[in-house]
Amino acid sequence: MEKEMMIIDPHVHMSARTTDDYEAMAAAGVVAVIEPSFWLGQPRTQVGSFQDYFSSLVGWEPFRASQFGIKHYCTIGLNSKEANNPALAEQVMDLLPLYLHKENVVAIGEIGYDDQTPEEDKYFRMQLEMARELDMTVQVHTPHRDKKAGTIKSMKVCLEHGLDPGNVIIDHNNEETVKEVLDRGFIAAFTIYPKTKMGNERMVEVVRRFGSDNIIVDSSADWGVSDPLAVPKTASLMLKRGIAKEDVVKTCYQNALDAFSKNGNMKEEHWLRPAGVDQSQLFNDNSVLRGQVPRIDADQIK
């Protein structure tokens, strides 16, 4: 990876990652991340669990990222798996408006379908209406089973609710879905996983075939087997395989910036003119350090 190339990972669940991951990502050129609302691996049982989680996405996690020189943004929404608990989902829907205007929130997401149940459809549509009313970008999770049909259905529902396809990111694409997404004017994001979804070699060939317009690379790294360095590794492989640098920059940086900056909360100046790292800072009396000497950049020294 060329050191001067900046990387954005627009779908990575950093709450499930370690400080070592932040350090490695920063060293690999990652300047900003977007963390979509996600499930815990086991179902939440009360709305307070969602409230604390959303609060961490707009509070602790941006602070933690800043301690390693990375700008953190998030998307807020009720994920498709937990839409299948209607009693709890109704409470979460009442909670969402309290967070959608926080300063690091860039979209409603990740929302969509998992098993494509009636409950998932209901709460997907409710959140699309919320996005339409607030003129917010939407990040869509497409189902891992019956992928193509679920992806087409997701886009159809977005159009039914009057959303601009250019303001909707359809994630977890593969070779079977990419043409359908691009032909309809949506933005196609690709999750690079070590074993499933999309590998980085396959991603190189997708860009070679379809070009770089409206295509985004992300890692979706979470608490499972995944790689928070998937985007810089894919960028590096693209360059080695002869993909033009301008296409690499678009798919691994610029397209994500363009797609998620529309509400004004994500700005390139946040990392081009950063405040600098000061690891002596605390968040609610907490530090990311455990006895280490804090890193304090020169511009932070009083």
pLDDT of residue 267: 97
**What integer pLDDT is reported at residue 222 of this predicted model?**
93
Is the pLDDT reported for residue 291 higher than 90? no
Compare 77 and 297 and report the one with higher pLDDT: 77
CA 93, 94, 99, 100 torsion-angle sign: positive
Look at residue 176 and tell me whether its pLDDT is greater than 80.
Answer: yes
Tokens for 199, please give them: 């590998």
Predicted pLDDT of residue 197: 59
Which pLDDT tens digit goes with each residue over 78-127?
999 999 999 999 999 999 999 999 999 999 999 999 999 999 999 999 99
- What is the CB neighbour count within 10 angstroms for residue 86? 12
pLDDT, tens digit (0-9, with 9 covering 90-100), for 11-61: 999 999 999 999 999 999 999 999 999 998 898 999 999 999 999 999 999
The token pair that represents 137 in the structure block: 């970008």
- The mean-pLDDT minimum among 14-18, 153-157, 229-233, 291-295 falls in 291-295
Burial annotation 179-217 (CB, 10 A radius, 16+ → b, else e): ebbbebebbbbbbbbeeebbbbeebbebbeebebebbbb
Q: What is the pLDDT of residues 181-223, one digit of tens each?
A: 999 999 999 999 876 656 788 999 999 999 999 999 999 999 9
Model confidence pLDDT, tens digit, residues 247-275: 999 999 999 999 999 999 999 999 998 88
Q: Is the pLDDT of residue 2 over 60?
A: no
pLDDT at 301: 62
CATH numbers and ranges of domains, the chain: 7-271 (3.20.20.140)
Asked whether residue 177 carries a pLDDT value surpassing 70, the answer given is yes
